Each structure stands twice: as structure tokens, then as C-alpha cells.
Amino acid sequence: MSVQRDARILNRIGLGLWTVRSMAQWPRHPVGGFSELVDDALLAQELGFHSIWSAEHRIWYDGWCPAPLLALAHVAGATDRLRLGTAVLLASQHDPISLARTAATLDRVSGGRLDLGIGLGHRDAEFDTLGLRRDRRGRMMDRALELMPRVWAGEYGDAPPVQPGGPAIWMGGMAPRVLERAVAGNYSLLLPQTLSAGRIGAVIEDVRARGWSATAGAMRDLWIEDDPGRAAEMRRRLEQGFTEEAGWWVLQGRRAFDAPELLDRQLHRVSDAALIGSADEVAEGLRALLHAGVEFLCLRINIDIADHSELREQMRRVAAELPPRLADAPVATGAPG
């Protein structure tokens, strides 16, 4: 019975985020990163996880994967059960018909395993470089949501995806308009890792009251470490990595390092929400999310601040140590996506 219960819990857990970055503080070989992605996906499948998730950014020195669907196609060829997710792909920066066709191709070659998490994007330089207006990103998102199902239905002459109606769509974010889109299209939600369990519970209650019946998902930065000193060091590394990444964001028209009060505020949100500690402490935080109504967890253990061997050991610890500790938490029956 415990084995079945553990499998049910793992089937509600995805691992992220594989971005193939090479950061100044944690450099890596760019080609080797893609090989590691496949190796990690094979391990995730072996351990029984539901999915592995990548993300999209561009126009920055770290090489953050600007084409996550192509990276996940690499994974699709090496796996046969593991689902493939984006958390998130910036739909407002793509031609919607081309995006729909690429997603459909990946869905077909993977045997119907794609979960398409999409978001608006926030970095001004990305929109500027692509010749797009950031203030029109909402309209571009709505256009993508309108056209992608039509492509998948064959209106543009394309072969259909494997999944009926097309790949499962997950809306990333928590802004009111994001929730409105999720309710209108009954898309699954992938709520940010900085939200507290109480705030997430309020969001889920709100959209359920409006007739929304899709999957409630949430992200969470996570690392199991029993030693308090090493746990504190891992939290420091998380903060240091976030500062390097977010220091380039443009916040209210200013670069983040020129707006330290805004950067510090977001840094505290990221650090305070991260679950870093013993397996019991981490499980307590996840249990709170599940009791708040979260049905799917995207655990961001690959936060680009650990050696590859450390990451793989963390994957094994999450699979072995968390399911028994979540045995008393509510777990929905069907697999998402």
C-alpha cells in the first residue's frame, strides 16, 4: 500500500527547472548541459516522477535556453514515460502559428507527453531585441491562445497532436488577468514559487468559485539538507544566484541594481518561500501547499547553484524521503496533463 501511495504522490510531482545556464558563479560547458539534461530526465523517469520542466529566456550572457521545446525534444527521444513541461515558455514572444506547430510536433514525437506552460515574459531587453512591444504582450498572449487550438484542430493544414485538443496548457503567474485567462479557457495553473500557502489557497478558492475545474499547480524552490549549517549555506547560494540573475531585470524603468529596494524585496520573497532544510521541514512546507488545494507540485531543485552530482543525489532524496512524509496529505487521484 505504501508503494502505491508513494507512486501516487510522485505522479503529482515534476522536477524543474532545467535551463542549461552557465552563470559566472557556477559555470558549465554549454554542450555538456544538454547531455546532463537527458541524463537527469532518465533518472527522473527511473525514480517515478511525473515530469521534467524547462524554461525560456534569452538575450543574456548566461545562455539560458531560448528554445525549450527543442531541448525537450532531445529528452523525448531518450524517454518513454516522463512528461515534458515548460515553466514557462514566453508565448508572447513567439509567432503563435509557428509555436503551435512546434508544440504539436513535439507532442507527436513524444507520444503525447507535452505540458505547455506559458507566460507573458517580463524582461524589457527581450522584447526590444525581438522588435516587440512589451505593453502589447497581453494581446499577443490572447492571440496565441486563440490560434494555437485552431492549428491543432487542423485549420492550417497541420497533422493533429496526439493529445486530443492539443497539448495541455498551463498558465504561469498570478496576476488577475492571468487568472481570468485560466478560468475562461479552463487552463491549468502553475502558480509562482514565491506565494505562501495561504495566498495560494485563496487564489484556488477564488478560481474554483468561478467554475474553473483544471489542475492547480504550484512551483517551489526546494533542497533537502539535514545539517543546519549546510542548509544555511544552500540558502545563501540561492540568494546569490538569484541576485546575479535578477540584477539584470528592469524594474519600473530602472535596472535592478539601480533599484536595490525592489531587488531586495523580491529577493526576500524568493528566500522566505524556499523550502531548504531537513526532509521533515521540507515535507511540512509541501503539506501546507497540498492542504491549500495544490494538486501538482513543480519542485525547482535545479536552481543552478549545485554540482551535477549534488543535483542527482537531491533527486534521489526527494523521491525516497518526501512521499512517506506526505502520506497524510490530500493527493488527487488522476495525473495532471
Domains in the chain (CATH in brackets) are 2-227+275-325 (3.20.20.30)
What is the distance between the alpha carbons of residues 328 and 336, in angstroms, rounded to a whole number?
20
Check pLDDT > 80 for residue 336.
no
**Predicted local distance difference test score (pLDDT) of residue 1:** 46
Return the residue matching grid coordinates 514557462. Answer: 88
Question: Which helix (DSSP H) or strand (DSSP E) does residue 251 occupy?
Answer: strand 250-251
Low-confidence winner among 100-104, 230-234, 305-309 (lowest mean pLDDT): 305-309
Check pLDDT > 70 for residue 207.
yes
**Predicted local distance difference test score (pLDDT) of residue 316:** 98
What is the distance between the alpha carbons of residues 64 and 21, in angstroms, rounded to a whole number?
5
**Predicted local distance difference test score (pLDDT) of residue 258:** 87
Check pLDDT > 90 for residue 6.
no
Check pLDDT > 90 for residue 247.
no
E-strand spans in 71-151?
Answer: 83-90, 114-119
Rounded mean pLDDT, 96-125: 96
**Predicted local distance difference test score (pLDDT) of residue 143:** 98
Rounded mean pLDDT, 29-52: 94
Query: Higher model confidence: residue 230 or residue 28?
Result: 230
What is the distance between the alpha carbons of residues 58 and 200, in angstroms, rounded to a whole number?
29
**Predicted local distance difference test score (pLDDT) of residue 337:** 56
What is the distance between the alpha carbons of residues 127 and 132, in angstroms, rounded to a whole number?
5
Low-confidence winner among 82-86, 261-265, 313-317 (lowest mean pLDDT): 261-265
Rounded mean pLDDT, 73-93: 98
Low-confidence winner among 144-153, 224-233, 321-330 (lowest mean pLDDT): 321-330
Give rounded-to-5 percent helix, strand, coil for the chain.
50, 15, 35
The chain-wide mean pLDDT, for the chain, equals 94
Query: What percent of the chain stands above pLDDT 90?
Result: 82
Span 48-64, pLDDT tens digits: 999 999 999 998 888 89
Return the residue matching grid coordinates 468559485. Answer: 209
Check pLDDT > 50 for residue 334.
no
Check pLDDT > 50 for residue 186.
yes
On the question of a cis peptide bond just before residue 267, with omega within 30 degrees of 0, the verdict is no
